[in-house]
Amino acid sequence: MSRALHFNLSRFYFIYYFFVGAFVPYWGLYLTSESFSPADIGILMSLFQLSRIVAPNLWGWLADHTRQRVRWIRLTAFLGLLGFVAIFWAHGFVAMFVVMVALSLFTSSTLPLSESLLLAHLASTNGHYSNIRLWGSWGFIVASVVVGYLTDRFGIQSLLWFILMVQCVLFGLTFKLPEAHVPPHAHDTFSVWQILKQRTVITLLVGCAMMVTAHGLMYNFYSIYLVEHGYSKGTIGWLWSIGVICEIGIFMKMPWLMARFKLKTILLVSLGLAVVRFAMMGLVPDHWGLLIIAQTLHAFTFGSFHAASIEVITQYFNGRHQAKGQAIYNSVAYGVGGALGGLLGGFALQTLGGQLTFTLAALFPLLGAIVIALGLKLAQPYAARGMFSH
């Protein structure tokens, strides 16, 4: 991969996840400041996951059909920017619901389109997914720390202007993304349905959805949960960042891990550690040191799990189905799973309280581990020649 291509892709990922690092840890706190209940927040935040069930599939089909991924990345970034501007006038539940529906339909599609663009470039170069994706992790870290101190100093309303500025930069960077040639693949002769109905694909998607269900609760309510236990926004920003710093470390080690361990093993270990992580979140929220240990497990519950999942999806969805495959993965795992976690989490927090809700969330990765253990059978169990390889 040329230096210019690496730079353009890396900075786009940095800014996209800079937006995510500003939005995910703090948007629930903004909604709390607008006097929404936990159930209301669960519904509103789940709109982003629900939109992933439908929207990315439309954009993915358009990207594969027209072979012009950058055009649709640019359009979704622009429409996402326009949708966010309306947030400044949305205060009641109905108004916020309408605006967040419009916002989520577009912002949820930018990432799977970008992933398919990156994978298309990697297919024709000697670049590595982890070397690009880790810049997204750095973007998340910087944003989560900066916004924590920013909102402590200037109030949660400053979050709106910060995110607006980031979205303007993100849209500008879409004009620097190069289009990619998509090489033919053996599965090009198959329909998407023929690929999707295979047992391994179904098993992976169900297992991923179970993992993301627990994370959906965390993404929507973890910051609120920590504030209730006396943590400042600056401290919360660092807690989120610790997890993503460890995620960077695991991304850097993925070529080594995937050359030595089966993809199924990586998935199962990641799910097992997720059970431990969410149990710790629920049982020891007032123990700072143990919360740090729980956050370090993000390296596995997201980093290694996501990397191995993407590798399996890439094995099955490639060539003319590449963008659709990424869209389906995002729709089922992050759409269905994330929405389930957000909606159930909101109502559970109101009735069961934060500690019991986070403890019970550990059951979902446990179910995911059972599904993967019993149903995942890979024809190519290793990724030695995949996109993470040296």
Note down the domain range covering 46.
3-375
Q: Which of 16, 18, 45, 17 is nearest to 224 (CA)?
A: 45
Contact 142, 239 (CB under 8 A): no
Higher pLDDT, 334 or 240: 240
**In this structure, is residue 389 part of a structural domain?**
no
Q: Look up the CATH number of the domain holding residue 269.
A: 1.20.1250.20
Which tokens go with 38? 């936990």
**In this structure, is residue 166 part of a structural domain?**
yes
**In this structure, is residue 381 part of a structural domain?**
no
Amino acid at position 152, single letter: D
Q: Which of 275, 271, 341 is nearest to 304 (CA)?
A: 271
Specify the number of domains making up the chain: 1
User: In the chain, what percentage of residues exceed pLDDT 70?
Assistant: 88
pTM for the structure as a whole: 0.77
**In this structure, is residue 380 part of a structural domain?**
no
**In this structure, is residue 29 part of a structural domain?**
yes
What is the rounded CA–CA span in Å between residue 320 and residue 314? Answer: 12
Which pLDDT belongs to residue 356? Answer: 96
Which tokens go with 261? 């361990």
User: In the chain, what percentage of residues exceed pLDDT 90?
Assistant: 41
Residues in the chain, how many? 390
**In this structure, is residue 235 part of a structural domain?**
yes
Q: How confident is the model at residue 390 (pLDDT cuts 50, 70, 90)?
A: very low
User: How far are the Cα atoms of 112, 285, 319, 386 from residue 187, in angstroms, in the given order?
Assistant: 20, 48, 7, 16
Contact 207, 371 (CB under 8 A): yes
Residue 319's H or E segment, with its range, is: none
**In this structure, is residue 322 part of a structural domain?**
yes
Contact 216, 46 (CB under 8 A): yes
Which pLDDT belongs to residue 18? Answer: 93
Residue that has been written with the tokens 């720390």 in this structure: 145
